[in-house]
Chain A
Amino acid sequence: MGVWVEIDLCDGCNLCLKACPYSALEVKKGKAEVLERCTSCGACLEVCKKKALVTDAKPREIPDFSGHRGIWVFAEQRDGQLNRVSLELLGKANQLGNELNQEVSAVLIGHHVSDLADTLIRYGADRVYLAENRLLKGYRTLAYTKVVEELIRKYRPNIFLMGASHIGQDLAPRVSRRVGAGLTADCTDLSIDSKEGILLQTRPAFGGNVMAIIVSRYSRPQMATVRPGIMEAIPLPDHKGRIIKQPISLSEKEIGLKVLNIAGEEKKQVNLSAAKVIVAGGRGVGDENGFRVLQELAEIMGGEVAGTRVAVESGWIPAENQVGQTGKSVRPEIYIACGISGAIQHRAGMMHSRYIVAVNKDPAAAIFQVADWGIVGNMHDVVPEMIRQLKG
């Protein structure tokens, strides 16, 4: 099985190179050539105007999934506190639900958590599937997997979204394997393909250097985990919904795991994902004292301080305050980047901010490409001046 080029037909137009998701084509001496890493996916066949690309791979049949309806969101909670990402996902699910004309449901699992159902409804859930049991008190993989599996088999959803949080990234792959569904990790964008009506799942790969659009054509539900802080939670105070209770049968033995102890860290909780204003600093801030000045600006503006990996590694700010691919994704109304070069890994975490201000002494710094307003200058002059003027 494979893909090959009819040399006589090929005019070396390069279109197939652009279409190949695996960089498995090359044009040499004006003719396309299929490389060894070709997976015979067929993406190049469609774009070739000269019909020079041919394959002997049979097209795979897409099963009939018309019986699978509804968009589900996993309502993640710990100790009765909802994770904000679940509300963000309900916002997105509503948008997808409108396009597909399908209902939005939340899956709420725990012990004595029924009062959270109301919040879920007020953020757009038409139904809340509620599973309560003593054995579901704290999150444990196999217990939650079993409950979710039973719900999916019973109600057959079309789409199922979870936050790409610790719990979501533990549970989603387990569930996907259990119910035989494709799963896309850590998505940053979701939309519906207008032709096929399937979920287009966009996610960064190769360290944020490439974006990939991924689809699950051959299984249901279409599952994705979604990066926290990117979708928008939309309160719908008048929204009505109903609660559907799920009967539970579980035993300690099948769970296979006991939580012996949970220890929190004694650090001030920063909540970057909820911050409306973020003042961020990088190597250019220079030292801890520089960050104290940023802190002052943040306080005047009613925001929080964050930074790049360099700032974290230099010990100027705690690791929880790192923004970026290996840090947090944030989307404040205003993001002020001071002494930050704007490496792709940093931009990945802040580019969804509503307004971005950059202060950098290097006019060629990449951060200016994503900024709404940029000031080329020394931040040690600019930031104190901002503080002065804002204090009036």
Chain B
Amino acid sequence: MKIVVLVKQVPDTTDVRLDEKTGNLIREGLESIINPDDRHAIEAAVRLKEGRSGRVTVLSMGPMQAIDVLSESIGMGADEGILLSDKAFAGADTWATSFTLGKAIEKIGLFDLILCGRQAIDGDTAQIGPQVADYLRIPHVTYVCDVEEVKKKTITAKRRLENGYEQVRCALPALLTVIGELNLPRYPTMDRLIHACREKAPIKVWNAADVGVQTRQVGLEGSLTHVIKTFAPKFKREGEILNGDTKVVVHELIERLKKSEGATACKAFSSTCKL
């Protein structure tokens, strides 16, 4: 079973700060991590390989420092890593990214399964999986939370719905996007990590020429969508703070709600209005 896992390096968005002056993101000092969903994809791939013959290839597109996520994936049990890195890839939207990843997968050759995370926490688009699948003309299943059976030509999986589950059988080769419910990712082992950081580690770096794409097809130039502006979200309202004794402030609040246009929405008011 040949599996390709798509893994992205992302900034840890839990402590993102903005530059007050420019409204831009302060990237300095932001820790980079493997995108959380993608860890579950790696774990699933390694488990699927265990107990049968197979190969797990981890593929990532990003700056050179993204090599760290490949080492970590190999530490978790992946066989090899490929980093797509080229200045020409910078600024890519999901159209250009899915094209670049698709081209690289074609170069890797035959595969049975492609696994990716449902979404990346920096862009939160959840678009790459289905777009890569469409580029490769294979079916996809999103929100996978359980892989039940893998046969030669089909895979049976459970996917999450808004309020329940759906069990599907999909023809192989296929692409799955996975969510956290799927499994508990293992930690990389020390000896595998050392293996992944040796000079002869099974990691390759490909540039635009290696995957056979032209500069104008990838990165910002190859993108169909463009960010024209970023700004800090504005949430502020003209707030009024009510001060004083609880009974009094609650009374004041209720008076204001009653007079507001929201009053009709409130059951408690409509009954008092009838009096």
* Residue A232 interfacial (CB < 8 Å): no
B71 to chain A, nearest CB (A): 22
Question: Please, which residues of chain A bring their CB within 8 A of the CB of B266?
Answer: 276-277, 301-303, 333-334
Check A176–B168 contact: CB distance below 8 A. no
Check A260–B247 contact: CB distance below 8 A. no
Check A374–B139 contact: CB distance below 8 A. no
* Residue B142 interfacial (CB < 8 Å): yes
Check A213–B224 contact: CB distance below 8 A. no
Question: Please, which residues of chain A bring their CB within 8 A of the CB of B125?
Answer: 173, 185-186
Cβ proximity bits A149-171 to B, threshold 8 Å, 1 near / 0 not: 00000000000000001100110
Query: What is the predominant secondary structure among interface residues of chain B facing chain A?
Result: mixed
Question: Please, which residues of chain B bring their CB within 8 A of the CB of A22?
Answer: 91, 227
If A259-B167, A264-B163 touch, whether A176 touches B91 (CB-CB below 8 Å) is no
The complex places the Cα of A260 from the Cα of B157 at a distance, in Å, of: 10
Cβ proximity bits A8-48 to B, threshold 8 Å, 1 near / 0 not: 00000010011011110000000000000111110100000
* Residue A370 interfacial (CB < 8 Å): yes
Question: Please, which residues of chain B bring their CB within 8 A of the CB of A260?
Answer: 156, 167-169
Question: Please, which residues of chain B bring their CB within 8 A of the CB of A216?
Answer: 224-226
Check A257–B21 contact: CB distance below 8 A. no
* Residue A174 interfacial (CB < 8 Å): yes
* Residue B122 interfacial (CB < 8 Å): yes
Q: Please pick, from A20, A41, A344, the residue contacting B233 in the complex, using a CB distance under 8 A.
A: A344
Question: Please, which residues of chain B bring their CB within 8 A of the CB of A208?
Answer: 233
* Residue B241 interfacial (CB < 8 Å): yes
Residue among B230, B243, B254 with the highest chain A CB neighbour number at 10 A = B230
Indicate the size class of the contact surface on chain B. Answer: 35 or more
Q: Please pick, from B25, B162, B238, B240, the residue contacting A206 in the complex, using a CB distance under 8 A.
A: B25
Check B98–A177 contact: CB distance below 8 A. yes
Check B237–A374 contact: CB distance below 8 A. no
Which of A95-103, A283-291, A375-383 interfaces with chain B?
A: A375-383
B242 to chain A, nearest CB (A): 5
The complex places the Cα of A141 from the Cα of B228 at a distance, in Å, of: 31
* Residue A300 interfacial (CB < 8 Å): yes
Check A302–B91 contact: CB distance below 8 A. no
Check B142–A170 contact: CB distance below 8 A. yes
* Residue B214 interfacial (CB < 8 Å): no
Check B220–A205 contact: CB distance below 8 A. no
Q: Please pick, from A17, A60, A259, the residue contacting B24 in the complex, using a CB distance under 8 A.
A: A17
Chain B residues within 8 Å of A, Cβ to Cβ? 11, 13-14, 16-19, 21-27, 90-91, 93-95, 98, 121-131, 133-135, 138-143, 156, 160-171, 174, 215, 219-221, 223-233, 235-243, 246-247, 249-251, 253-254, 256-257, 260-262, 264-268, 272
Given A1-B215, A173-B134, A377-B246, 20 further pairs, Cβ under 8 A: A18-B24, A23-B24, A41-B226, A174-B134, A176-B131, A186-B124, A206-B13, A209-B25, A210-B231, A210-B232, A212-B230, A257-B141, A262-B165, A264-B163, A265-B164, A302-B266, A320-B163, A370-B237, A372-B237, A373-B240
> Can you list 25 A-B pairs, Cβ within 8 angstroms, ordered by A?
A18-B23, A166-B142, A170-B142, A172-B127, A173-B129, A174-B140, A177-B131, A185-B125, A205-B123, A209-B233, A210-B25, A210-B231, A214-B225, A257-B139, A260-B169, A262-B161, A264-B164, A334-B262, A334-B266, A348-B233, A363-B241, A372-B238, A373-B240, A375-B249, A382-B246
